[in-house]
């Protein structure tokens, strides 16, 4: 029997054993649906189990090698078992409940870091269940980049998975399954069309596990970036192997330039407060740009714009500093609303420019609330071409892997200054709090030997990042 005939046979069997039902139902994530799949019943039908495993093998495993297979608990577990036995491929088992016990292993079986694992699932709606399994496998250092499913409900799951670097193949899409059932007079053409239309109109919300973004390496993140400065910064970090942003909070232009001569090779980004420099001239800008070119770093002017669009536009492009002419990116508050982002977007003179929006602050007692942070992130999503990322403190703040988390308030020891600045350690901000680029100011510029201190920061921060993307977080 050819593959197409087998698919047709499977579709009809699923219908006959009530694994697919038509009516009105509710899915796990609360979406109302006129069609429901309950593939748990297939365990009572060995012929159906056999057919499914043969088809999955032909679709996903015949021409491909993977070190392990892993079924998403629970429905796909017996299917994964059959495939494992048939193809003599090792199986891994993910515990669903281990998290609440704390110490128990989440992934059972024998494996090595870097091993590839094919994931098997019955039905995908939003992709969230698959992503939970992907995340647990990646935390163990396994490569989890492919999933094979019986049915793709075509409600956004495939896209959600792709954003998280997981390619999905399916035996049937919803449209294909309905076509077969209509052709075989199991359901009418009319009700088939109704189901398709309904499902297409009810797309699952974008969902990704909170730590997905931070497990991806910078070179991969560059592919997701929509802002050209974010793309450049990810690429610089990956090639120079540094995620250190030096905040050159010094008031003498010579001191700044002297320091950058020596540490330029160790940083990906230099952050300025141009209005604190006492001997500012245009020459300073010329030299700064030359150093940026020589050492391949970007320049962030930490101006923290916070006015109406028109004023911000003037502050950005006019006056003594003409920031828009030389700074690759700037910081801005979301407080005044979207007008500010529109102003910055329209004032770039055709140059590649970016904005880091302040979603949280490092200082004690700041007035930013959870609501403010969430609204800031939503506002930024409307300006993908200009937003480079967020100045923020927590990994939960945003999910988009194409944006950069810039985190200030970092020193080698956790501490505070006398004006409310709170310092966390590199380990904490990168491994726990999700920082992508780490801002260090006085930790380096006020050190006895700023150059050797910069190297210590660079090495420590990079080590933490490598640990994070290797998946070994504990």
Strand partners of residue 170: 149
Q: Does 442 bind ligand S5P (CB under 6 A)?
A: yes
Is 62 known to be catalytic? no
Which among 97, 93, 55 is positioned nearest to 77, based on CA atoms?
93
Phi-psi region of 403 (alpha: psi -120 to 50; beta: other; left: phi over 0): beta
Is residue 362 marked as binding? yes
Q: Does 249 bind ligand S5P (CB under 6 A)?
A: yes
DSSP one-letter string for 55-89: HHIIIIITT---SEEEEPTTTHHHHHHHHHHHHT-
Q: Which is nearer to ligand S5P, 326 or 457 (CB)?
A: 457
Is 459 known to be catalytic? no
Starting from the edge strand earliest in sequence, which strands make up the sheet with 68-71, in order?
Answer: 107-108, 90-94, 68-71, 116-124, 143-152, 167-173
Q: Does 416 bind ligand S5P (CB under 6 A)?
A: no
| Minimum distance, C-beta of residue 154 to ligand S5P, in the bound complex (Å) | 42
Is residue 113 marked as binding? no
3-state helix, strand, coil in the chain (%, to 5): 45, 20, 35
Rg (CA), the chain: 26
Site string for ligand S5P, 349-378 (x = CB under 6 A): ------------xxx---------------
Instruction: Write out the two tokens for 138.
Output: 């990646």
Is 302 known to be catalytic? yes
Q: Does 443 bind ligand S5P (CB under 6 A)?
A: yes
Q: Which positions from 329 through 348 interact with ligand S5P, judged by CB under 6 A?
A: 331
Instruction: Write out the two tokens for 355.
Output: 């904005």
Is residue 109 marked as binding? no
For residues 293 and 291, give the distance between their C-alpha atoms in angstroms, rounded to a whole number. 5
Beta carbons of 354 and 388 less than 8 angstroms apart? yes
Site string for ligand S5P, 255-294 (x = CB under 6 A): ------------------x---------------------
Omega before residue 74 within 30° of 0, cis: yes
| Minimum distance, C-beta of residue 442 to ligand S5P, in the bound complex (Å) | 3
Q: Which is nearer to ligand S5P, 160 or 242 (CB)?
A: 242
Q: Does 421 bind ligand S5P (CB under 6 A)?
A: yes
| Minimum distance, C-beta of residue 265 to ligand S5P, in the bound complex (Å) | 20
Site string for ligand S5P, 200-239 (x = CB under 6 A): ----------------------------------------
Specify the DSSP class assigned to residue 385.
T
Which among 201, 278, 291, 215 is positioned nearest to 246, based on CA atoms?
291
**Of the listed pieces 36-44, 230-238, 342-350, 441-449, which binds ligand S5P according to CB under 6 A?**
441-449
Is residue 100 marked as binding? no
| Minimum distance, C-beta of residue 421 to ligand S5P, in the bound complex (Å) | 5
| Dihedral over alpha carbons 353, 359, 361, 366 (to 10 degrees) | 130
DSSP one-letter string for 288-331: HHHHHHHHT-EEEEEEEE-S-HHHHHHHHHSTTT-HHHH-SEEE
Is residue 441 marked as binding? yes
Helix 338-346 and helix 370-381: axis angle, to 10°?
A: 40
Q: Does 426 bind ligand S5P (CB under 6 A)?
A: no
Is residue 411 marked as binding? no
Q: Does 247 bind ligand S5P (CB under 6 A)?
A: yes
Q: Does 422 bind ligand S5P (CB under 6 A)?
A: no
Q: Can you say which residues are annotated as belonging to the binding site for substrate?
A: 249, 271, 362, 421, 441-442
The residues binding ligand S5P (CB under 6 A) are: 247, 249, 273, 302, 331, 361-363, 391, 408-409, 421, 439-443
Instruction: Write out the catalytic residue numbers.
Output: 302, 304, 307
């Amino acid at each position: 029997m050819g593959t197409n005939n087998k698919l047709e046979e499977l579709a009809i069997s699923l219908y006959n054993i009530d694994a697919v039902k038509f009516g009105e139902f509710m899915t796990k994530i609360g979406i109302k649906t006129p069609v429901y799949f309950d593939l748990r019943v297939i365990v009572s039908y060995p012929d159906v189990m056999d057919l499914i495993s043969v088809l999955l093998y032909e679709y996903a495993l015949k021409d491909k090698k993977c070190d392990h297979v892993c079924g998403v608990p629970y429905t796909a577990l017996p299917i994964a078992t059959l495939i494992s036995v048939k193809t003599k491929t090792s199986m891994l088992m993910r515990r669903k409940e281990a998290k609440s016990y704390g110490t128990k292993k989440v992934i059972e079986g024998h494996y090595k870091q870097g091993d590839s694992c094919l994931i098997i699932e019955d039905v995908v709606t939003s992709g969230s269940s698959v992503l939970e399994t992907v995340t647990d496998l990646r935390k163990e250092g396994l490569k989890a980049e492919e999933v094979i499913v019986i049915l793709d409900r075509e409600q956004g799951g495939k896209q959600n998975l792709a954003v998280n670097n997981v390619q999905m193949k399916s035996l049937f899409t919803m449209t294909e399954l309905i076509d077969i059932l209509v052709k075989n007079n199991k359901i009418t053409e009319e009700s088939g069309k109704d189901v398709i239309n309904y499902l297409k109109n009810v797309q699952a919300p974008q969902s990704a596990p909170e730590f997905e973004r931070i497990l991806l390496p910078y070179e991969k993140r560059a592919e997701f970036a929509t802002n050209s400065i974010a793309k450049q910064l990810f690429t610089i970090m990956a090639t120079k192997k540094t995620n250190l942003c030096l905040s050159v909070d010094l008031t003498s232009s010579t001191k700044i330039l002297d320091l950058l001569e020596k540490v330029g090779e160790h940083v990906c980004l230099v952050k300025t407060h141009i209005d604190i420099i006492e001997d500012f001239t245009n020459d300073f800008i010329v030299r700064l740009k030359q150093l940026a070119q020589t050492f391949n770093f970007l320049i962030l002017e930490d101006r923290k714009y916070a006015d109406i669009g028109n004023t911000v536009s003037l502050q950005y492009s006019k006056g003594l500093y003409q920031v828009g002419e030389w700074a690759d990116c700037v910081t801005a508050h979301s407080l005044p609303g979207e007008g500010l982002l529109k102003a910055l977007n329209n004032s770039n003179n055709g140059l590649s420019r970016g904005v880091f929006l302040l979603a949280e602050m490092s200082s004690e007692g700041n007035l930013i609330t959870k609501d403010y942070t969430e609204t800031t992130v939503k506002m930024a999503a409307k300006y993908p071409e200009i937003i480079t990322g967020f100045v923020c403190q927590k990994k939960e703040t945003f999910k988009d892997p194409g944006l950069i988390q810039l985190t200030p308030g970092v020193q080698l020891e956790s501490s505070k200054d006398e004006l409310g600045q709170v310092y966390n350690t590199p380990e904490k901000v990168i491994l726990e709090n999700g920082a992508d680029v780490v801002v260090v100011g006085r930790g380096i510029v006020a050190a006895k030997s700023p150059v050797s201190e910069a190297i210590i920061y660079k090495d420590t921060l990079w080590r933490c990042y490598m640990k994070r993307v290797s998946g070994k977080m504990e």
